[in-house]
Amino acid sequence: MKKNELRKKAIKTRNALSAKIRAAKSLMIRKKLENMDAFRRARHILFYYAHGSEVDTLPLLKNHMTEKVLYLPKLMGKNQFMALPFPSLRALRKGIYGIPEPVPAEEIDMAPPLDLIIIPGVAFDRRGNRLGMGKGYYDRFLKAFKAVPKIALAFEEQVLAQVPKEIYDEPVDLVLTDQAAYNR
């Protein structure tokens, strides 16, 4: 199956989960993540702001914004993003796709000292291959952070037997779901 067809099917499956089921599964995933050594040790973490039916990250952002330095993507031109500090919910503005983003300060650290990267996606396989929305934002960003652990948050329904992988696709180290943790 081609990536676009697989993407549409995976999004449809994820959207078919009721809001109540997604909330319960997001809570399970959140608790698993918070209990992981990699998360506890990390001081500088890039998160994503959940959009649509993605695993909800808002409670994680709220719960850890005072004890850790959190970052969110700020979309830029040419399908790229920068990791900008997450100061507060009030300081976010809707970006290109309507997803809340930080507002850039005058001085921007182009390579923040990230200890952990939390990644969204449409579909994953057990080997850490990831299918995103198709623009390559994360693939481009992750090339500069190869040594930083990458954890994808997903509902078990998003894990497939195999996700097509191109030469430019960047895998994640761990896919964390409500049912399991799949190491690459």
What are the structural domains of the chain? 3-183 (3.40.50.10420)
Going by pLDDT thresholds of 50, 70 and 90, the confidence category of residue 106 is low
Residue 30 has pLDDT above 70, yes or no: yes
- Residue, of 168 and 68, whose pLDDT is higher: 68
Which of the four pLDDT bands, split at 50, 70 and 90, describes residue 109?
A: low
Average pLDDT over residues 131-153: 91
Of the candidates 33, 31, 29, 52, which has an alpha carbon nearest to the alpha carbon of residue 156? Answer: 29
pLDDT at 98 over 60: yes
**Token code pair at residue 41:** 């040790």
Q: How confident is the model at residue 103 (pLDDT cuts 50, 70, 90)?
A: confident
Contact 42, 116 (CB under 8 A): yes
Residue type at 40 in one-letter notation = R
- Output the CA angle 126-127-132, nearest 5 degrees: 85
Which helix or strand (DSSP H or E) is residue 33 part of? Answer: helix 19-34
Least confident of 37-41, 46-50, 135-139, 180-184: 135-139
Residue 154 near residue 124 (C-beta atoms within 8 A)? yes
Q: Is the pLDDT of residue 1 over 80?
A: no
User: Taking the CB of residue 5, how many other CB atoms lie within 10 A of it?
Assistant: 9
